Amino acid sequence: MTQNNILIRRYIIVGERRLSNYWWAIIIFLGSCGFLATGLCSYLEIPNWLSLFNPESKEPTLTILPFFPQGLLMSFYGSLGFLLSIYWSLLIFWNVGGGFNEFNKKDGFVRIFRWGYPGKNRKIDLSYSLKDIEAIRVELKQGIDSQRTIYLRLKGKREIPLTGIGQPLTLKEIEKQASELANFLQVSLEA
């Protein structure tokens, strides 16, 4: 390890570019295309492939789905799914919530950087002196919506969360990261 690695620690925060988000954006897009195609076929009175799976008929036959109300409802759900998949794809493209936490003993500062939504405040870039750090706090919430979060407590200021949203870490990983960070910064670790 070089001297710079000992004096600078950087933790990467993944944000929206997680495999699960890619998966759900693709699945919702494909599902919405199926719903839209079914709604369009019922509007144009074209038999579609869904009619082949009619449980009431003994032999596969092509039937036309009535546009009102089934075709209209399928079109509505398909449109909503399509818009949701576009929104999810944009979140992945913009990497909302992604960034890093940098602890620099060499220059004496802490930098917390995150990407937000496009606009005037797209970059969230916070910088504090190492002297302002009072403690590292770990919050563990158990139950259905269990959360494990590491907070940076500053003098006279609010606590700043250091872990990413939707980035679940195990209890062991949270404890290890928090204790390493508290030892590195030479501050107390609170639970």
Q: 140-173, pLDDT tens digit by residue?
A: 887 777 778 899 999 987 899 998 776 677 888 8
Domain end point (choices 66, 94, 122): 94
Per the model's pLDDT, the better-predicted residue between 50 and 13 turns out to be 13
pLDDT at 54: 60
Q: Are residues 39 and 106 in the same domain?
A: no
3-state DSSP assignment of residue 159: strand
pLDDT at 39: 92
Half-sphere exposure at residue 97, Cβ-oriented, CA atoms within 13 angstroms:
16
Range in 3-7, 25-29, 95-99, 115-119 with the lowest mean pLDDT: 3-7
Distance CA 156, CA 30 (A): 50
pLDDT at 144: 74
pLDDT at 53: 60
pLDDT confidence tier of residue 129, bands split at 50, 70 and 90: very high
pLDDT at 50: 57
Residue 34 belongs to domain spanning: 20-94
Region of residue 62 (phi > 0: left; psi between -120 and 50: alpha; otherwise: beta): beta
Q: What is the pLDDT of residues 4-20, one digit of tens each?
A: 558 999 999 999 999 99
Residue 1 has pLDDT above 50, yes or no: no
Decide the pairing of beta strands 159-161 and 123-129.
unpaired
Domain end point (choices 48, 68, 94): 94
Q: Are residues 24 and 61 in the same domain?
A: yes
Kindly report the pTM of this predicted structure: 0.80
Q: Are residues 144 and 156 in the same domain?
A: yes
The domain total for the chain is 2
Gyration radius of the chain's alpha carbons? 25
Domain end point (choices 63, 94, 125): 94
Q: Are residues 25 and 101 in the same domain?
A: no
Overall size of the chain counted in residues: 191
pLDDT at 171: 83
